[in-house]
Structure 1
Amino acid sequence: MAAGRIVVGVDGSEQSVRALQWAATQAGLTGAELDAVTAWEFPTWGGLIPENATYDPEKQAAHVLADTVTKALGSQAATSVTCHTVKGNAAEALLTRSAGADLLVVGARGHTGLKATVLGSVSLHVVQHSAVPVTVVRGE
């Protein structure tokens, strides 16, 4: 029987570090492969993307992903994680990358009420729309 696959969302926050650690433990218990995913979008100002911007959001996202994986798992264990940097909305990127996976893992920032409504909630969106089981890792 082939090993499964666990997808975990990573954004550099402490919540995503905990989600990654939880997912790595689960992958170790089940023999599943671990895919860490982060999403990025071009920053816009008033709906416009500056033509000569020197900021590279894809490169920055890849750096945050690699640093977070190393912080969460240590440099040796980090080599066993497949990292994906995806252009687009975080929730949609996670739903797309988790297609066919055994589990999707995300951290929860704990926003409630108006703040959650205004900021949006990646964890809420993936729980509502995922075709695979979702684990939401909350604070300690």
Structure 2
Amino acid sequence: MAGRIVVGVDGSEPSQKALRWAAGQAALTGDTLHAVIGWEYPASWSAAPGVPPDFEPEHLAHQILEESLTEALAPDVAAAVTRTVVGGNPAQALIDQAEGASLLVVGDRGHAGFKAAVLGSVSTRVAQHAPCPVVVVRGEGAAD
């Protein structure tokens, strides 16, 4: 019986690598692929210099998710991916979306600075709290 693989996406190269790995695993197992991006306003949002007043972080999250799928996957594979954008803590969003999943896949690190505050890398937290097995796809190494 096919299950569901949830993969965290934040637009970073490690999350792209995790997305490709998860798609390969889904092809092997027959599982469906569910790409999730979480976003939240940073605590100092109102004081952030240079942020336009009409900035929409949810729109940015949708854009990052779509661009990530387009860049990382073949068009036919990307078309079959379920997409979810969650407003809230990215780690908690992945943990919640992984309920009932057969696997949760994340990259080993994500964006730093402002993008981390909005989107962020969450591998440590999901590895500790996910309701299903977790794969953390590591960056490039000698074997890559």
The alignment's TM-score, normalised by the length of structure 2, stands at 0.82
Instruction: Give 2:76's aligned residue.
Output: 76
Instruction: Give 1:15's aligned residue.
Output: 14
State the Cα distance separating 1:48 from its structure 2 match: 6.8
Per-residue CA deviation, residues 41-63 of structure 1 (Å, 9 max, x unaligned), is 134536679xx930111011000
CA distance 1:43–1:109, shift in 2 (3 Å): closer
Q: Distance in 2 between matches of 1:47 and 1:60?
A: 18
Unaligned runs of 5+ in 2: 111-119
Q: Percent identity?
A: 54
Q: Distance in 1 between matches of 2:14 and 2:26?
A: 18
1:119-138 correspondence runs (5 A): 122-138=122-138
Check conservation: 2:10, 2:121, Cα contact below 8 A: no
| Aligned residue-pair number | 128
Structure 1 runs (4+) deviating above 4 angstroms are 46-49
State the Cα distance separating 1:105 from its structure 2 match: 0.2
Instruction: Give 1:139's aligned residue.
Output: 139
Per-residue CA deviation, residues 69-117 of structure 1 (Å, 9 max, x unaligned), is 110003232101011000011110000000000000000029xxxxxxx
Q: Distance in 2 between matches of 1:40 and 1:11?
A: 9
CA RMSD of aligned residues (A): 2.1
Q: Distance in 2 between matches of 1:106 and 1:57?
A: 21
Unaligned runs of 5+ in 1: 111-119
